[in-house]
Amino acid sequence: MNTHYRAVVIGGGVVGASVLYHLAKAGWTDIALIERDVLTAGSSWHAAGGIHALNADPNMAALQAYTIDLLSEIEAESGQDIGLTMSGGITFACDPDRWEWLQAAHRVYQSIGIDDTHLLSPREIADLHPLIDIAGVKGGLWADREGYVDPSGVVHAYARCARQRGADVIEHNRVLDLNRTPEDWQVVTEKGTIHARHVVNAAGLWAKQVGRMAGLELPVSPLSHHYLLTETIPEVAALDKPFPMAVDLEGFTYSRQHQKGMLLGIYEIDHAHWMMDGAPWDYGIELLQEDPDRIERELTMAFERFPVLQTAGIKDWVHGAFTFSPDGNPLVGPVDGVPGYWCACGVMAGFLQGGGVGRTLAEWMTEGETEADAWSMDIARYGPFASNKEYIRQTTGQFYSRRFVMTYPNEQLPAGRPLKMSPAHSEMTQAGARWGVSYGLEIPLYFAPKDFTETPSLRRSNAHPIVGAEARAVRETAGLLDIAGFSRYEVTGPGAPAYLDRLLACRLPEPGRAALAPMLAGSGRLRGDLTVFNWGDGRYWLMGSYYLRSWHMRWFHEQWTDGVMIEDISEEFIGFSLSGPNATAILDKLTDGPAALPFLGCGVMDVGLLRGHVARLSVTGELGYEISVRASGHIALRRALLEAGAGLGLVEFGYNALNALRLEKSFGAWNAEYTQDRTPAMVGLDRFICWDKDFLGHDAALAEREAGGPARRLVTLEVDAAGADASGYEPVWSGDRLTGFVTSGGYGHRLDMSLALALVDGADAAPGTELRVHVVGEERAARVIEPSPYDPAGKAMRG
């Protein structure tokens, strides 16, 4: 063991070993992995070892596909047998909605490059998997790249590859403490203190404690999980090849062959947390006492679905703990305010996702950014609100119990809610608001009669006409939207103008003006789509998506320079957006001359009894104003605006209508059109770039422009839909060729048209091009239309 390393990885499970391997592969050889016991001790040694490329989150599916492709490479490189068996796999459904979801998922996988899947009839399922009773089965989805591995073999293969590339693996050496110095980290271990520039928390069941060593309360918790191993089953022994893996969506089980018998795993509804504050330090190659009574319901369904189990003997129960995050995805990346500290935690499917997690984190550490969009597993998707123990208990438990349960696009889940509410929440609830959640904050989706209940659906729900009425009201009269769900950052100090001029790719606005502001990384890829306001008194505001608060603040701090102060004021200032042809007349009743504000103008003025920050702009595409006040004035502002608009047709609307309105204007949204693996030219944000100044990412963006632009471009599609609309990641076809995929979609109520935004090959981007799109698994004709199909000249929003 050396006393100095460039990076130290804490944790010898599959994730820690993968991070070490990928760092070494990237050229960092002065690195070490420290394990308190032996490699695999914790969760890795008792994992079921199943691998499959399919995931409801397309980004995670791509991560898993990478991991699967990597496994054979590390086996060959290390010479370590990992027991890789590619049996193929079947996910099947009995519920009609789940079967419809599988048909849609098949098309989504095509759009992200997973082309080894196909749909199966019940008869085909029986032919491929003779142990399944297909009674009640509607259909299934086959994937070639499914199978299983020897968990211990995989961990040792990663570690051996890393050693061969120069890394150290140090076992039987617990990390006792972490101390941050101005230069590096002091990693205090049982065998001495190590100095390291970077520390990676890949501690698995002990991630909580290793987080606390750095002053962090990570949103993770272990939950216990059962699987059983049968004795030899004659029907299995008689097979000439391994039977496929199987996932029973209604039965909450997964299964695969184990020797001449079967492995059956259960994600029970009656979940059980274990050691929420982290496993005991002396816990290692151990299991928990099995609790078959808790999984009786799921076992009964499994024994009915696989009749051979009814006469099979159970050889072993495996009841161990795995660590989960609130949404089940990993927690990866740097931590704002804790330089040199990196997370690779909450990877509940380590053998399935560990390779992708290792590559992502290694890219981040060695290159400063990741090749693929890492948002789905970025630790910055959670803020301080997620450190609450009860929040963690509810959300991790909800995810575990819903592991195989389909969540509808319009379904709102209850765990950890309500947590944060804007001051006018109660009054808006009385007015019929139905709520969604963003970064712990309740945001209104739409307003409905008291006795209305929305039905979860993959298609247009029974809330469709309600949302349509709100959208039409914004077009015809005026609408009021709670924008507590927008983030706000205040930038001040003598260095603020220069800092923002470098940070943002747009021209910095003059006093009393606002501007749309793309923000880029050094690679020229996107880091934000913000609005910048110059209030004229030395204060600048940046506004964006509320759920990106931790992510944006981390980026702002990474680019920080002397003479600049940056404050997240999203809790301090909130407000409402007022949109529609009557917006000026309504606001005129409360303040002096809002019409004097030009389009994209901003100023501080009295609004009724309140002092408000008012800007003339709107995401709806109509004449509009965004009004921000101190949070204590939120209720008074709402009441004043509703009273002023009472005779002018003012109605409250929610974010579902806002989504429909912005699609009609071809306005993109973050994590839909705008992602950190795309460039501004791909998605049309290059029109807001000021090319004659120096900004972060300038050279890379200019190089793309001078080389003829990106291969794919964002277009607007009119879709011949019937009862369902595209939502995201559906494949787009030009003839039989996959030309791209939908980034987001919905129904344009002002135009009475189903719309989608999509990234397609440049050759198919011209208006009038005939294409096809799969919507909920059904092929639909579509055509490229001119952007901003509603009011293309922008006359309405400019007044």
CATH number at residue 505: 3.30.1360.120
Tokens of residue 694, six digits: 């120096």
Rounded CA-CA distance 13/42 in Å is 7
- The pLDDT of residue 113 is 85
H and E: helices and strands count for the chain: 20, 37
Average pLDDT for 189-211: 98
Q: How far apart are the first and last CA of the chain?
A: 70
- The pLDDT of residue 284 is 85
Residue 353 lies in a domain: no
Q: Which DSSP string corresponds to 350-418? A: HHHHHHHHHHHHHHHHHHSS-SS--GGGBGGG--GGGG-HHHHHHHHHHHHHTTTSPPPTT----TT-S
Q: Reduced to 3 states, what is the DSSP secondary structure of residue 248?
A: strand
Residue 443 lies in a domain: no
How many Cα atoms sit within 13 Å of 60 on the Cβ side? 21
Rounded CA-CA distance 541/546 in Å is 14
CA-closest candidate to residue 156, choices 244, 77, 211: 77
Is 47's pLDDT higher than 70?
yes
The model's pTM: 0.96
Residue 351 lies in a domain: no
Is 334's pLDDT higher than 70?
yes
- The pLDDT of residue 595 is 66
Burial (0-12, 13-18, 19+ Cβ within 10 Å), 522: middle
Residue 757 lies in a domain: no
Average pLDDT for 783-793: 97
Choose the final residue of a domain: 593, 626, 650.
650
* Biggest CA pair distance of the chain: 86
Is 53's pLDDT higher than 80?
no
How far, rounded to the nearest angstrom, does the alpha carbon of residue 746 sit from its chain's CA centroid? 20
Is 169's pLDDT higher than 90?
yes
Q: How confident is the model at residue 54 (pLDDT cuts 50, 70, 90)?
A: confident
Average pLDDT for 442-456: 97
Under DSSP, the state recorded for 311 is G
Average pLDDT, the chain: 96
- The pLDDT of residue 62 is 83
616, 624 Cβ separation under 8 angstroms: yes
Total number of domains constituting the chain: 2
- The pLDDT of residue 57 is 78
Residue 317 lies in a domain: yes
Q: How confident is the model at residue 55 (pLDDT cuts 50, 70, 90)?
A: confident
Rounded CA-CA distance 101/776 in Å is 7
Q: What is the rounded (10 degree) CA torsion for 55, 59, 62, 68?
A: -60
Tokens of residue 406, six digits: 């389909």
Q: Give me the percent of the chain exceeding a pLDDT of 90.
A: 95
Average pLDDT for 540-555: 98
Residue 662 lies in a domain: no
Tokens of residue 426, six digits: 């109660």
**In which order are the strands placed within the sheet that holds 261-266?**
117-120, 139-143, 89-93, 245-248, 253-258, 261-266, 221-230, 314-324
Model confidence pLDDT, tens digit, residues 698-733: 999 999 999 999 999 999 999 999 999 999 999 999
Between 48-57, 161-170, 222-231, the lowest mean confidence (pLDDT) is in 48-57
Rounded to 5°, angle at Cα 182 from 180 and 187: 30
Model confidence pLDDT, tens digit, residues 557-597: 999 999 999 999 999 999 999 999 999 999 999 998 666 79
Tokens of residue 139, six digits: 């259909």
Model confidence pLDDT, tens digit, residues 490-533: 999 999 999 999 999 999 999 999 999 999 999 999 999 999 99
488, 541 Cβ separation under 8 angstroms: yes
- The pLDDT of residue 477 is 98
Q: How confident is the model at residue 412 (pLDDT cuts 50, 70, 90)?
A: very high
437, 417 Cβ separation under 8 angstroms: yes
**Phi/psi of residue 451, nearest 5 degrees:** -90, 10
Rounded CA-CA distance 717/541 in Å is 34
87, 137 Cβ separation under 8 angstroms: no
Residue 714 lies in a domain: no
- Tokens 């898993």 belong to 64
- Tokens 């989608």 belong to 756
Residue 436 lies in a domain: no
Choose the final residue of a domain: 603, 629, 650.
650
- The pLDDT of residue 374 is 95
Under DSSP, the state recorded for 601 is B
- The pLDDT of residue 609 is 96
Tokens of residue 100, six digits: 């419809």
Is 298's pLDDT higher than 90?
yes
Model confidence pLDDT, tens digit, residues 253-262: 999 999 999 9
Which domain covers residue 635, as residue numbers?
486-650
Residues facing residue 63 across a β-bridge: none
Choose the final residue of a domain: 605, 627, 650.
650
Q: How confident is the model at residue 384 (pLDDT cuts 50, 70, 90)?
A: very high
Q: How confident is the model at residue 61 (pLDDT cuts 50, 70, 90)?
A: confident
